[in-house]
Structure 1
Amino acid sequence: MRSWVSLAAALGLTLAGCAAARPGGAAQAGALKLELAGRTAVVRVALPAAEVDPANDHSITLLGTRGPFMLLTDSYASRGQSMSRCQAGHETWVRLIDTRTRTERWNKRVESCLHDIQPGDPVATWTGDGADFTVRTLSEPSTQMSVAADGSVTQRN
């Protein structure tokens, strides 16, 4: 149910050039289905198959857009380990998607049962008026990133 609430919030964006995020489903492991300019597009993303269970509990939350860049979280159920470790855990990434080229430009794991990473609050936000964003986890200092017009991403701190 959580994924449908996130999906409803993402679909609320109706401005021209904005994009909505939709879950890709079990058959699309390592890919996100996004609605871009009224058309469905598939964006391949980095996804460690040994650590996630794409057939179970996948959700996408759109955090916002800046020009052609979409910032979102993409969360999967952790693949269970021996002795019931991480049977109910999640692996979550912040991802930067370039809607022009339909590519993932950057990602960072921000929640993990397998690697003991806890997300900050908020986990990621656009900062200022440009294409800069900040990602927060409880296990390390905030990461500040800048996105150039060509889609290249650099760390600011």
Structure 2
Amino acid sequence: MKATVTLAMAMATALFTLAGCGSAEDVDTNAASAPAATVLTSDAIEVTGDTGLYTYGDGGAKTQIRFPVTTQRADPVLYHDVRRLGESDGVVVVLDSYGSRNGGERCANGRESWVRLFSIAKKRMTDAVLAESCLDRREAGEPPVTWEGNGFTVNARESRRFVIVNGKAKSTEAPR
């Protein structure tokens, strides 16, 4: 904590002096109340072969979770993007999108996207929902997935709403 305050004081001194906002003597009273720098939450997924490695960082702590990736369908070399959607019921929810493997006439330059649920406490992927698939001709809207408090909606011609229950994505639609 002392190092954080000292760093904050040094930064405040430089900023006050450069901006002409006051003297160096004024810095001590302002720096003591300056908030400590924190490491923001981050999400990353690296793929090696058929294995994904999800990395969750929060406040300096880092958790890594291995999970299977269907590389017969998805090619992370073509395209790969990870976006956090939200958190609910102790689960981090991300949208994990890849370029589609070439499916001939059916699919070229498409995407394969999954909503993945990771339990940080249990250190495992608890669920995955296919959101978009060029190979299955499942088109998503824009944005493909939206977060709403305790769950998410996969946006498509027939949108599907899910809530997080016991670490799993549970559809709110009645079975047909």
* TM-score, with structure 1 as normaliser: 0.69
TM-fit CA distance, 1:97: 0.9
Equivalence map 1:1-157=2 (5 Å)? 14=40, 19-25=41-47, 27=48, 29-37=50-58, 38-66=60-88, 68-83=90-105, 85-122=106-143, 123-127=145-149, 132-148=150-166, 151-157=167-173
Query: How far apart are residue 28 of structure 1 and its match?
Result: 5.6
The Cα shift of 1:121 comes to 4.7
Contact 1:121-1:136 within 8 A present in 2 as well: no
**Structure-2 change in CA distance of 1:45 and 1:140 (3 Å):** farther
Q: CA deviation at 1:91?
A: 0.2
Q: Which amino acid aligns with 2:83?
A: T
Tell me the C-alpha RMSD between the 2 structures: 2.6
Higher share of residues assigned helix: 2
| Pair 153,59 (structure 1): closer, same or farther in 2 beyond 3 Å | closer
Q: How many percent of aligned residue pairs carry the same amino acid? A: 23
- Quote the Cα distance in structure 1 between the aligned partners of 2:168 and 2:103: 36
TM-score by length of 2: 0.63
Q: Which amino acid aligns with 1:134?
A: F
C-alpha distance in 1 between matches for 2:89 and 2:164: 13
C-alpha distance in 1 between matches for 2:138 and 2:146: 15
Give 3-state SS (helix, strand or coil) of 2:78's partner.
Answer: coil
Larger Cα Rg: Structure 1 or Structure 2? 2
User: What residue ranges of structure 1 are gaps of 5+ in the alignment?
Assistant: 1-11
Distance 1:13 1:97, change over 3 A: farther
Gaps of 5+ in 2: 1-37
Q: Is the 8 A contact 1:33 1:40 kept in 2?
A: no
Alignment-mate amino acid for residue 73 of structure 1: L
In structure 2, how many angstroms separate the alpha carbons of the residues matched to 1:56 and 1:42? 24
Q: Is the 8 A contact 2:89 2:164 kept in 1?
A: no
CA contact (8 A) 2:141 2:156 kept: yes
* Equivalent residues of 1:30, 1:47 under 8 A apart: yes
Contact 2:81 2:97 in 1 (8 A): yes
The residue identity in structure 2 corresponding to 1:75 is S
Q: CA–CA distance in 2 between the matches of 1:126 and 1:56?
A: 30
Equivalent position amino acid for 2:128 in 1? N
